[in-house]
Amino acid sequence: MTVLALVERGPEGPDELSLQALAFARSLAPGEPLHALAPVRGGEGTELAATLGEHGVSTVHLAEHEAFAAHAPVALARAVVELVERLAPAAVVAAGSERGNEVLAHVGALLDLPLATNCLEAALGEPMRLTRLRWGGSLLEEASLHGSPKLLTVAPHAVPAEAAPAAGPAVERFTPSLTDADLVVRVVERVQAAAGGISLADAKVVVSAGRGAGSAEGFAVIEELAALLGGAVGCSRAVTMAGWRPHTDQVGQTGTKIAPDVYIACGISGATQHLAGCKGAKTLLAINTDPDAPILASADYAVIGDLHEVVPAISAEIRKARGR
C-alpha cells in the first residue's frame, strides 16, 4: 500500500505546509513506502529530493517541464494523474494551501473522484473516515470518503512537520505528457508587492478594530498604537464592508489569517468569521465595551471600555514607560 504526496516548493526547499502533509501521509500508512511528487524544471530538484528523504519519502518523483518554472495547476494535476495510474496509491495527499486544494480539485475532476479538503484526521479504509474543517475551522465535520484513490488535503498546522530520516530516497525523473490545453492555465507574470510596511500575515503585533472604531477616522488611535509597537493594523469584515479600510487589512476567514505574538482586538465582537482568522495569535487582548462580547471567550486578557478612551491611554503609557 503506497501513499503519494504532492509537494510544493517555497523560496528555500519544500514549503512548510507540504512537509506537514508528508507527516500526515506517513501517519496514514506507517512503515509503508511514501512517494512524493514535486514539479521542477528539467535537471532541477536534487537538493529538494534530499530534503524530502529526511521527511520519510522513499521515492521522489520529479515531474520535469519548462511549464513548472511557474505555477501551472492543470499541468501539475496531469502529472499527478500519470503517477496515480502508474503507482495505484491508496491515497493522494497535498497541503490544504490555496495551491494544494486547487491542484487536487483538478485531479478530482480529471479522475472523477471526490476530494476532502482541509482534513485534520483520516484513517485508510473503505470508505475512509475523516475529520475536516468547515467554516474556516469554527466547525468540524466527520465524513466518509468513497472511491479510490482517496484524495485529501491536510488542514494547515493539523500536524507538525517532523523529520523522519530514512535511507536516501530513490529519485525518479519523468516528463509528464501534456497537451497545449493543459498549459493554458499558468502564471504568466508576477507583480511584486510594493516594498515597505509590515505585512499583516507576518506581523509580530497586530492591532485591529471593528465596528467600534465608528468611522475611518476612528482608526487614527489604532494606527498610533500599532506604530508604537512596530505592528500592523488590522480590521474586521464589518469595517471593510463599510469602506473604512481596504480589504488587505481584513483579518478573518475571508481575509488574512494571522499568527502574531500578540493580537489586540479593539471594538470587535468576535464573529466566527473573524475568529477563524486570528486563532493563530499566541496572546489575544480584547478591548470592548461589552463584557459579554463573544471575543472574550477567545481572549487571554480583556479591558472593558471604549477603544477611543482605552487605546490612547495605552499609547500614552507606552511612551511613559519608554521615557523612564
Partner 1 sequence: MNVLVCVKRVPMTGGTIVLTPDGQAIATQHLGFTISPHEECGVEEAVRIVERHGGESVVLTLGPPEAEEQLRDALALGIDRAIHLVTDGEEWDAQATAAAIAAAVEAERAAGIEYDLLLFGNESADAGGYQVGVRVAHRLGLPCATGLKSLAVEGGRIRCEQEAPGGRDVYDLPLPAVVTVKEGLNLPRYPSVPGRMRAQRKPVAASRPARPEPRLERLRLVVPGGQRKQAEILGHGPEAAPRVVEVLERIGVLT
- Residues 169-208 touching partner 1, rule: CB under 8 A, are 184-193, 204-205
Which of helix, strand or coil describes residue 142?
Answer: strand
Whether the CB-CB separation of 119 and 152 falls below 8 Å is answered with: yes
Site for partner 1 contains 220 (CB under 8 A): no
What is the torsional sign of CA 108, 113, 117, 122? Answer: negative
Q: Which of 2, 44, 81, 114 contacts partner 1 by CB under 8 A?
A: 114
**Rounded Cα gap, residues 95 and 21, in angstroms:** 5
Q: Which stretch binds partner 1 (CB under 8 A): 21-29, 83-91, 171-179, 268-276?
A: 268-276
Residues numbered 233 to 252 that lie near partner 1 (CB under 8 A) are 237, 240-241, 243, 247-248, 250
Site for partner 1 contains 127 (CB under 8 A): yes
Q: What is the nearest approach in angstroms of partner 1 to the Cβ of residue 185?
A: 5
Q: What is the nearest approach in angstroms of partner 1 to the Cβ of residue 57?
A: 24
Whether the CB-CB separation of 182 and 78 falls below 8 Å is answered with: yes
Residue (98 or 217) nearer to partner 1, CB: 98
Site for partner 1 contains 124 (CB under 8 A): no
Q: What is the nearest approach in angstroms of partner 1 to the Cβ of residue 122?
A: 12
In terms of phi and psi (left: phi > 0; alpha: psi -120 to 50; beta: otherwise), the region of 135 is left
Site for partner 1 contains 20 (CB under 8 A): no
Q: What is the nearest approach in angstroms of partner 1 to the Cβ of residue 40?
A: 18
Q: What is the nearest approach in angstroms of partner 1 to the Cβ of residue 28?
A: 17
Q: Which stretch binds partner 1 (CB under 8 A): 16-24, 42-50, 57-65, 279-287?
A: 279-287
DSSP per-residue codes, 126-187: SSEEEEEEEGGGTEEEEEEE-SSSEEEEEPTTSS----B--S--EEEEE-----GGGGSSS-
Q: What is the nearest approach in angstroms of partner 1 to the Cβ of residue 35?
A: 23
- Name residue, grid cell 481572549: 299
Q: Which three cell numbers stand for residue 2?
A: 503506497
Contact pattern from residue 133 through residue 162 relative to partner 1, giving x for each residue in contact according to CB under 8 A and a dash for the rest: xxxxxxxxxxxxxxx-----x---------
Q: What is the nearest approach in angstroms of partner 1 to the Cβ of residue 22?
A: 20
Site for partner 1 contains 307 (CB under 8 A): no
**Rounded Cα gap, residues 86 and 248, in angstroms:** 43
**Rounded Cα gap, residues 32 and 48, in angstroms:** 21
Which amino acid appears at position 233 of this protein?
A: V
Residue (46 or 179) nearer to partner 1, CB: 179
Q: What is the nearest approach in angstroms of partner 1 to the Cβ of residue 3?
A: 19
Q: Which three cell numbers stand for residue 28?
A: 496514514
Residue (46 or 202) nearer to partner 1, CB: 202
Q: Which helix (H) or strand (E) holds 121?
A: strand 115-123
Distances (CA, A) of 277 to 119, 140, 174, 178, 306: 18, 16, 39, 38, 23
**Rounded Cα gap, residues 171 and 250, in angstroms:** 43
Residues numbered 54 to 73 that lie near partner 1 (CB under 8 A) are 70-71, 73
Residues numbered 71 to 100 that lie near partner 1 (CB under 8 A) are 71, 73-74, 98
